[in-house]
Amino acid sequence: MQSTTINSDYSANTTFNETPNYTQHTDKSQLSSLTKDESLYLNKKRKSWKFINPKNVFIFRDQPIGIFNHLLHIVSFLICSLMFISYLYLPLNNELIIDVGTYRDITPFERLVKTLLVGLVLFNLNTLKKKLKAYPVKRYWFAMASNSLFKTVILTLYYLLFLLLCAAFIGATQGANLFSAIELFGQSAQYEVFLIINAIILISIIWHSFSFCRKELKQ
């Protein structure tokens, strides 16, 4: 009886000790080397110029950024910043009143939204700066900032193009041109609802475009 117990314990211990080896063997068998095409694709992605792709900047963050690319990132960041600020603060909706002058027809809600958009961009850029203090990467800040801001500008342009197409379609159905349709819509009761939806979409665009600024660099 005692011999049987010892044998069963020995068998159980043997099985337990052999299990990790089997697991390790299984894990090793699942590993596979990259094919030639996959290696070429990865090398191409590493060396490619990254302008509207913050995801690739993040994935290849340990890849050195050359001086020329760094200068392009700085120029891109400055141009996109100018475009973003111009979109928010250019006096496109000034109206002229005789004997009074010009004034901006902008609501307090629109002012609040514009302030939130700028604050959201600054928040993400500051978050990126804090991440770099914990895990410094040379020339990474301008690379990620310019790519994220460039993506914000491109997505915003797509969104504005969509709005213009919608306005043109509505104007065509009502027998009005594009500018008349926009003016009529600005005076309608649905305009306030549009402002709320527009604010949510713009905030979502910025939050999505700067998502990789908030990711931990050291993983």
The domain locations on the chain are: 52-214
pLDDT given for residue 44 in this prediction: 57
**In this structure, what is the dihedral angle of CA atoms 205, 212, 69, 74, given to the nearest 10 degrees?**
60
Q: Are 131 and 216 spatial neighbours (Cβ–Cβ below 8 Å)?
A: yes
pLDDT given for residue 24 in this prediction: 47
* Contacts of 64 by beta carbon, 8 Å cutoff, 6+ apart: 138
pLDDT given for residue 179 in this prediction: 80
| Distance between CA atoms of residues 195 and 203, nearest Å | 12
pLDDT given for residue 215 in this prediction: 92
pLDDT given for residue 25 in this prediction: 44
Q: How many CB atoms lie within 10 A of CB 115?
A: 11
Tens digits of per-residue pLDDT, 98-115?
Answer: 544 455 567 888 889 999
- Average pLDDT along the chain: 78
Cα–Cα separations (whole angstroms), residue 172 to 35, 168, 169, 190, 194: 54, 6, 5, 19, 20
Residues 45, 47, 53, 54, CA torsion sign: positive
pLDDT given for residue 65 in this prediction: 87
**In this structure, what is the dihedral angle of CA atoms 77, 83, 86, 88, given to the nearest 10 degrees?**
-90
Q: Which two tokens stand for residue 56?
A: 């690739």
Rg of the chain over Cα atoms, rounded to whole angstroms, equals: 28
pLDDT given for residue 21 in this prediction: 47
pLDDT given for residue 181 in this prediction: 80
**In the chain, which stretches have pLDDT less than 70?**
1-32, 34, 36-51, 90-105, 219
pLDDT given for residue 110 in this prediction: 87
pLDDT given for residue 43 in this prediction: 59
> Model's pTM, two decimal places?
0.73
Tens digits of per-residue pLDDT, 161-188?
Answer: 999 998 888 888 888 888 888 887 877 8
| Distance between CA atoms of residues 15 and 33, nearest Å | 31
